[in-house]
Structure 1
Amino acid sequence: MTTNLSLNIKRELYQVCVADIQTRLNTIKATIFELDQALLSETKSSAGDKHETGRAMIQLERENVGRQLAELEKTQHILSKIDVNRTNQTIGLGSVVITDKMNYFLAISLGEIRLEHTEYYAISPHAPIGRLLMGKTTGDTIAFREQHFEIRAVL
């Protein structure tokens, strides 16, 4: 594979991941805004216990969404560490790995990404197969779930 083609594939995979994270961040921020508005608009009614239960439920949901936001921001930070203009011989964060069975993008856990009739799986380096791939090079073989994968290229 030519270097330009390799970098284009990596850039496209990276952009799909960035767009997905941005969409999820926007959704979560909109949810937080709506929950904050709901908390502000809750007014004391004659049914005091009912009011307090409603506020508590909204507050719990706000805390859950806040945790999701924190996790997404961590994921976004991991993505920001990837240099899409750099290729290495050794598999690491940001590597595109071509094997005889599947293709991987070691970045974040996003799942299947299809580029020009080719499937890639965006996985975290901390995922079980990601940990096996880290540090390997072209020609190495890994065993995962009773299957053997030969690494054909590292982009």
Structure 2
Amino acid sequence: MKDSVQLKERLVKHIKETTDRRLVEIDTALVQAQESANDDTKSSAGDKYETSREMIQQDINRLQQQRAEVIRELDIINKIEQEGTEVGKLGALVVTDRFTYFLATSLGQLVIDGNKYAIVSAQSPIGKQLIGKEKGQDFEFNGIQQTIKGIY
């Protein structure tokens, strides 16, 4: 595939931007939840206060878990090698007779210059199918037989 390094750079850039936006959204929500907890402390008393406080704390815990996951994803993204490869691995662009996959983090479908790319995690079911595969190999996923036409 001509210009595969440039394409991978664009894919990684988009993934980083999307993931960075998610991190900012989570951080904003964490600040708001903490402010809400602080305001609740000033104005409430009794069982209603305890229930409200516990719900806010659960929200904070959930947001902290989401934040940790996004940071793990950013670490994975930063490890992606953008030079070419001949085997399915993190950072590989895998072209099959049905789809084009980019092994990175789970982001879903992305369209660049009219071409669709499935951004999948190496830990996802399809990612696990692609790891270690080479051009010309076949695999089946969700009942669909696919042949690898190229790996970049």
TM-score class normalised by the smaller sequence: over 0.9
TM-score, normalised by the number of residues in structure 2? 0.94
Match of 1:26 among 7, 24, 27: 24
Give the Cα–Cα distance (whole angstroms) in 2 for the partners of residues 7 and 82 of structure 1: 12
Bigger shift: residues 103-112 or 49-58: 49-58
Query: What pairs up with 1:1-155 in 2 under 5 angstroms?
Result: 1-2=1-2, 5-45=3-43, 47-84=45-82, 86-155=83-152
Give the Cα–Cα distance (whole angstroms) in 1 for the partners of residues 102 and 93 of structure 2: 4
Runs of 4+ in 1 over 4 A off after TM superposition: 44-47
* Runs (5+) with no aligned partner, structure 1: none
Give the Cα–Cα distance (whole angstroms) in 1 for the partners of residues 143 and 80 of structure 2: 31
Q: Deviations over 1:59-98 (max 9, x none)?
A: 11111111111111111111111022x1111110000111
Give the Cα–Cα distance (whole angstroms) in 2 for the partners of residues 76 and 151 of structure 1: 28
Bigger shift: residues 141-150 or 44-53: 44-53
User: SS where residue 23 of structure 2 aligns?
Assistant: helix
Structure 1 pair 8–46 and aligned structure 2 pair: CA distance change class (3 A): closer
Whether contact under 8 Å (1:104, 1:121) holds in the other structure is yes
**Root-mean-square deviation over aligned CA pairs:** 1.4
Q: Which residue identity does 2:98 align to in structure 1? A: K
* Runs (5+) with no aligned partner, structure 2: none
Structure 1 pair 23–45 and aligned structure 2 pair: CA distance change class (3 A): closer
Q: Which residue identity does 2:85 align to in structure 1? A: N
